[in-house]
Amino acid sequence: MRCLRGSGIQVHLGSFKVKMVTCHLCGKESRHHEEKETDVAIAAKLFELCHSGAAASFVLVTGDTDLVPAVKVCRKLFPEVSIFCVFPYQRVNDDLRRFSHASFKLTRENYLTNQYPSPLRLSDGTMVTRPTEWDPPATPPLASTPTI
């Protein structure tokens, strides 16, 4: 999040509710975190931005079906606004695809090749290093052609 903020992106964090869940097999209770109100917040923001004329087009990066009604209403009330959907890796939603102006899917390679450099120096001088498991695979050397 610090890298996003450091590049000028406004970050809005959602909230999580702690929920105790009981395993139906062994009866053991464990604590889980449940995301709350994110889809409603996104829908409300989309409507607000469409209504204010903030932009001619919007891109939603989601596969959440709960956003379909917001996309449908915004398209109906603001036909001059284009709404595009980008689906995260291995997540596609046919309804969102149908009601958006266009859509495409992110691939694993999109994630690997479109990251901030590591380490990244923030404007305050702080160095941020991404987790090594996020590093793109090493590029294999080009095969050399044998000379005869």
Q: Which domains does the chain have, with CATH numbers?
A: 37-105 (3.40.50.1010), 108-136 (no CATH)
pLDDT in tens, 120-146: 998 889 899 988 888 777 766 565 555
Pairing between β-strand 29-36 and β-strand 102-105 as defined by DSSP bridges: unpaired
75 confidence band (pLDDT: 50, 70, 90): very high
DSSP string, 35-72: EESHHHHHHHHHHHHHHHT--SEEEEE---GGGHHHHH
Which residue matches tokens 């149908």? 98
Distances from the Cα of 28 to the Cα of 34, 43, 123, angstroms: 18, 37, 47
Which residue matches tokens 């050397």? 141
pLDDT in tens, 90-117: 898 999 999 999 999 999 889 888 888 8
Mean local confidence (pLDDT), 80-87: 96
Of 31, 47, 27, 30, residue with least CA distance to 39: 47
pTM: 0.74
pLDDT beyond 70 at 148: no
